[in-house]
Chains A and B, each alone.
Chain A
Amino acid sequence: MKGKQLSIDKRKRREAYGFILPAFLYMLLVLGYPLIYNVFLSFKNVNVKNLTKGGSVFVGLQNYIELFQNDTFLLVIKNTFVFTIACLIFQFTIGFAFAIFFYQKFRLSGPIRGMVLVSYMMPMAVTGLLGKNIFSNLGLINNLLSKIGITGPEWLVNTSTALIAVIIMNCWVGIPFNMLLLISGLTSISGEVYESASIDGANWGQRFVFITLPMMKGSMLAVLMLGFIYTFRAFDLMYIMTAGGPLNSTDVLGTYSYMLSFTQFQFSKGSAVAMVLFVCLFIVGLFYLHLLSKEDD
């Protein structure tokens, strides 16, 4: 009897593996192969002279060592983290505030919420061009500032302000995305919980801290993780607004890797930068999975 049960279990497991196999093969082909190829590329010295003619050799960690000794790359790493963290903070807090605001039932809530989504629906290339115009020296922002007697900075020209301008434009796109996901999280909280809390005498702040925040933990985590991944691999916005300049002040890992690989044909160095980008996102992904499993426990 026991033996029969074991055989059924084994068959079921085999069937289960069978179902997983197509997805596994697909992942291996579409994700695994490029990734492994990229890892190999980053340990070689493939460049414009030997890509097709051959003669590239294994150089170990040399590309990585050279990158981490390069001031530009260190600036790019700094830019990427500053950009990602600043965007996450502003997108999340403003997005959350918008979510709570638009969750309230009031007239025109729906149409206004729809209008807020316009920036999210716009292609990033268009957003980049808009940003380039809005933040130009004589653009909309400086024009408005001059009306209240403030001389606006040369946003996209100064190395200290160019990244701020790009962050603002990215937040403009990211806020509706955060708002949408957080509103769906808010709708999942039963109204009865708030009702009973009100009966118990909880004020708005207490309801927010002790009900909304804990019950939104899953949604918040998902929004933050997705936001991090989406923002960390940013490319098109800075590529169009500033082309990574001036003086690499808006270059991030994505644009830098692209420039090395496709403009300067230093394929191995470009791959090494892409690997750094991948490792950072992989760590964040593992952290997310760890938190999810902890929550399940």
Chain B
Amino acid sequence: MKKILALMLTGAMCLSLVACGGNSAGSTDNSNTDSGSAAQESADTPAAPAADSSNTEAAADSSASGSATEVELWHYFDASNDKEAIIEWVDEYNTLQNDIHITATYVSREELMNQYTIGALSGELPDIGMVDSPDMASYISLGVFEDITAELNAWGELDKFYPGPLSSCMDSDGNLYGLPQNSNCLALACNMDLLKAAGYDHMPTNVDEFQEMAAATTDTANGVYGFAMCCISTEEGTFQIIPWLRSNYNGAGVNVDNLTADSAVHGLGVLGDLISSGSMSKESVNWTQSDAFNQFVAGKAAMCEVGTWHLAMTGDINGAFEYDFCLLPTGSTGTSTSTIGGENFGICTGADNKAACVDFLKWLCSKEKEGEWAVTAGKIPTRSDSVANYDYEQDGFAVFVDEMNYAQARGPHPEWPTIGEAIYTAAQAVFVDGTDPADALSKAMETIAPIVAETPLP
């Protein structure tokens, strides 16, 4: 009898274990109207282990009504300015109306991307999700985001968005799955003190002058390099390498589907020469964009490839030296190339409250809010009718706004991650192994060519 009882208890224990797991997995109930418990639930779900509950609570506390439609938003804003801004904005939206209550949850970028992939199969997705613009095409293809073309067309403001950022929210048929919330691109930051010490009173205007200046400002004894950039083996590296491959040198520039062209080989060769001559640290293959910018801030790099968002971080220089920004001198005089970056917000598949999600997106990407966000986060609006009244680094922003004219989006292409990997691998082969740029890019094209042959780049 005792044995039977023990057996039953063991079975019950195992069942309870399984049942606990099941409850937890299924506890994301976005239709829950109790906003106070919604935040707790989101923290309980296995899909949000990396969620920063403090952020979640901050947003959830602002619940204005117990009958509001709950909308779960996941983001990866983690810079000091934008991580606070998203909480404040969600709070603002929640107090502006009583029908929708947004709960913003921070999930680290890596974890969020993993959750999208897993969620594509399991259905465990937030209602609204943030995604890096070049990745969105892949997640659209994976079925992570919902088609909201009809809702956005009815809005009547799509023509106000810049075509580049907006195209990153589309599939190959032109259907829309979200909206671009912010935009950025790359330009060159210069330490004017180091340039002056090397005998230059201006910033480089073409690639030849840039190479010359990088060599002249390199001071190996003091660990100062002429140029710093990020060439890490992730999408960040691809983002920074692409402008050099697309360089307009001697009147010709190409897209990433033709990397064996002379201009692309020359562009990669320039970077390779900087490494081999010691004007750029080999460590750039392990540097993130933040690491490269830190080198510039520390006075260890005379020039640095920086993003628009770095303008909100120039305070770190703290008057240590005079600095300025110019177009990325990747080619001949009067030309420049850059890459468009930015973040999109999409409505996730299976969101119970699609209409509420679209309403929030329309507010987040409205003319006024786009301008405000650009100032807060150091970004560029994605709408042509938005005005960003930058009250800091106005000259710097003017350079980045001008650079947008020469910037190109990555993709959109569902297999962009594979294309991106081929690009940074080619660059690293040149930097680390001293491979000939033409050979390295030919090898990259072996991967890229069949992909773009099947689905061409736009």
Contact = CB atoms under 8 A, between A and B. Distances in A.
A252 to B, nearest CB: 14
Contact of A136 (B17, B142, B283): B283
A26 interface: yes
A244 B3 contact: no
B11 interface: yes
Interface stretch (B199-207, B359-367, B413-421): B413-421
A243 B417 CA distance: 15
Given A48-B141, A245-B233, A264-B421, A154 B283 contact: yes
Interface in B83-129: 113-114, 117, 120-121
Interface stretch (A49-57, A115-123, A176-184, A209-217): A49-57
Contacts of B415: 48, 264-265
Interface stretch (A95-103, A155-163, A190-198): A155-163
B417 A158 contact: no
Contact of A138 (B13, B138, B223): B223
Contact of B418 (A15, A51, A262, A264): A264
Contacts of A204: none
Interface residues of A, number: 37
**Residue picked from A156, A157, A244, A262, most chain B C-beta under 10 Å:** A157
B113 A51 contact: no
B145 to A, nearest CB: 11
A102 to B, nearest CB: 36
B282 interface: yes
A22 B417 contact: no
A156 B418 CA distance: 24
A262 B286 contact: no
Contacts, number: 93
B16 to A, nearest CB: 11
Question: Interface residue tally of chain B, by bracket?
Answer: 35 or more
Nearest to B6: A19
A243 B232 contact: yes
Contacts of B417: 263-265
A157 B283 contact: yes
Given A18-B7, A246-B233, A246-B432, A157 B286 contact: yes
A53 B233 contact: no
A271 interface: no
Interface in A1-57: 15, 18-19, 21-23, 25-26, 29, 48-49, 51-53
A244 B421 CA distance: 12
A243 to B, nearest CB: 5
B432 A25 contact: no
B163 to A, nearest CB: 24
Interface in B340-391: none
B285 A157 contact: yes
A263 B138 CA distance: 10
A165 B2 CA distance: 58
Nearest to B419: A264
Contacts of B286: 132, 136, 156-157, 242-243, 245-246
B224 to A, nearest CB: 12
Interface string B241-275: 00000000000000000000000000000000000
Contact of B232 (A52, A154, A245): A245
A247 interface: yes
B428 interface: yes
A247 B425 contact: yes
B316 interface: no
18 contacts: A21-B11, A22-B13, A48-B141, A49-B141, A51-B120, A51-B121, A157-B432, A159-B432, A159-B433, A242-B233, A242-B286, A243-B234, A243-B286, A246-B286, A247-B429, A247-B432, A263-B417, A265-B142
Given A52-B142, A137-B281, 13 more contacts: A22-B10, A25-B14, A26-B18, A48-B141, A49-B141, A157-B285, A242-B233, A243-B286, A245-B428, A246-B431, A246-B432, A263-B417, A263-B421
